[in-house]
Amino acid sequence: EQDYRTLRLDSLRYDSPTLEHLPDMARNQGYSVEIEEEDVTSGIELPGTWDDYLMVLNKKDRHELRRKLRRMDAQTDWKWYSVTDPAQATERLGEFISLMRQSRPDKDEFMTPEREGFFHNVTQRMAELGQLQLYFLEM
């Protein structure tokens, strides 16, 4: 029989049922509980339809999205594809991270060497397990 003394759960969303119920359950069983905010795990609830999604966007973003879609409709030499091969996925992730960093200063700041390493490790492992599809749009 194993004698476990610690249960560590990282990156739980603030609205997670686990975070809501597990601490009280553990305390009721005589366990001590420590909750530390380590990082923010984000997520969004997506609208049910495309039109509803457009209404969530501000006027500038809606205009920008429509402009890009019109450009794509007018251009015939674009391609959309997924990458699943582990070696290709790792290489293409590097390109993705580079583009992400260039897009905005806050994204560049977010992508610390530790986070970049994490994304590479997750990408590699998910690809090895056949659970990864990176999608790319080239124009």
Give every CB contact of residue 18 below 8 A, 6+ residues apart in sequence. Answer: 9, 12
CA distance linking residue 120 with residue 112, whole number of Å? 12
> What residue ranges in 54-109 does DSSP mark as E strands?
79-83
User: What is the rounded average pLDDT for all residues in the chain?
Assistant: 90
Reported as a single tens digit per residue, the pLDDT across 32-59 is 999 988 877 777 888 999 999 999 999 9
Assess contact for 111 and 97: CB atoms under 8 A: yes
For the chain, the structural domain boundaries read 1-43, 77-138
pLDDT mean over 102-125: 93
> Where on the phi/psi map is residue 11: left (φ > 0), alpha (ψ -120 to 50), or beta?
left
Assess contact for 40 and 16: CB atoms under 8 A: no
Residue type at 115?
Answer: R
CA distance linking residue 24 with residue 91, whole number of Å? 45
> Where on the phi/psi map is residue 69: left (φ > 0), alpha (ψ -120 to 50), or beta?
alpha
Give every CB contact of residue 97 below 8 A, 6+ residues apart in sequence. Answer: 111, 116, 119
pTM beyond 0.95: the answer is no
